[in-house]
Structure 1
Amino acid sequence: MNYPGHQDNHPGSPELSDQQHPAAPAPAAATTAAALDDRYGRTPSRNRRARALAIAAAIAVVVVFAVWAIWAGPGQTSHGLDTDDVGYEVLSDHATVVHSQVSLDPGTEAECAVQVLDKSFTIVGWKVVTIPASDQRSRTISTEVRTTTRGVTGLIHDCWVP
């Protein structure tokens, strides 16, 4: 609050600022680009280093992509592998039969992981079965899986060509 004859001398007030900081000379107007570059480290050698680092990073990205494309690309085939879960039969608290249909290119062998789950979706039985090579594309398989507790569903988890 301003009272008559009272000076407002808080930091930043014009009166206090004028008392502490007399007029400072203006900075030199002619600062060259070379002086600024030197001051902030913008030198030709630093620019070359940054450019070389960017090129190396780009090359690394291209190499990683090429390796991935070769690994996951056209050389990897599924051999026409397809599975369908047909059903299951709970035989007892410790056995379930899983019925599935597997489609596969004729003459190709496959392996499948068959699993049985309980009511909380916990795996209580697991078995890897081999599907032998055949002249037929589709085959129906029935797999008996031993379980630790009573299963409530059975299915093929995954299949692959060894």
Structure 2
Amino acid sequence: MGRRAASDEEREDGASVAAPPGSPASEAVVADSPALAERYGRTKARRAGGRLLAWIAGGAVALVLVVWVVWAGLDGTNATIATQDTAHEVLDDHSVRVEFDVTVPTGSTAGCVVQALNDGFAVVGWKIVELPASDSPTRSFTEIVRTSELASTGLISSCWLT
């Protein structure tokens, strides 16, 4: 074992006599034993490797977080469009009036799909509407959609910036 505790005694032939088990001197010998440290993976090289791996993993997480923040929040091109169906009225077997509000960034033009659905939720009529630019972000519109059969509802399907 190479190391001796301070309280070890030497015999006449030069061999050491270990302290009794459970004494502080014997615990120091066991805790400082390089063979035990190597056996249980507590070597300095192993700890240094673990720390290096932790730093690399932490750096990778930080890099992914920074890239996500730049991609999701700081690019400045995330203009949003909000729509709200406000009313619909079935005029006859071949038309429905749809009223809706659209919020777009001021000065931007947009396009929307207005559609009519029957009782089975099948599309029975649709219309693409071009919305001109305006100084007001939220505006109300009314459109009449022609249908192929009796509609039960009319609504906004989707909108996009043009």
Tell me the residue number matched to 1:107.
107
Q: Which residue of 2 aligns with 1:51?
A: 51
Q: Matches of 1:93 and 1:52 in 2, distance apart?
A: 73
What residue in structure 2 maps to residue 21 of structure 1?
none
Deviations 1:33-87 (A, max 9, x none): 32222112222222222212211211121122112211221414436x4433221
CA RMSD of aligned residues (A): 3.6
Return 149-158 or 55-64, whichever deviates more: 149-158
Q: Offset at 1:128?
A: 5.2
Letter in 1 for 2:48: R
Aligned to 2:87, the other structure's residue is in SS state: strand
Q: CA deviation at 1:96?
A: 4.0
Q: Which runs of 5+ in 2 are unaligned?
A: 1-20
Tell me which residue corresponds to 2:123. 124
Question: Cα distance, 1:113 vs. partner?
Answer: 4.4
Aligned partner of 1:72 in structure 2 is: 72
Identity across the alignment (%):
40
Structure 2 partner of 1:12: none
Q: Report if aligned partners of 1:95, 1:147 keep a CA contact under 8 Å in 2.
A: yes
- Equivalences for 1:2-151 in 2 at 5 Å? 31-33=30-32, 34-74=34-74, 75-78=76-79, 81-91=81-91, 96-117=96-117, 122=121, 124=123, 129-144=129-144, 151=151
- Hey, what's the Cα distance between the residues in 2 that align with 1:151 and 1:105? 32
**Pairs aligned (count):** 134
Change (3 A) 1:66 1:134: same
What is the TM-score when the length of structure 2 is the normalising length? 0.58
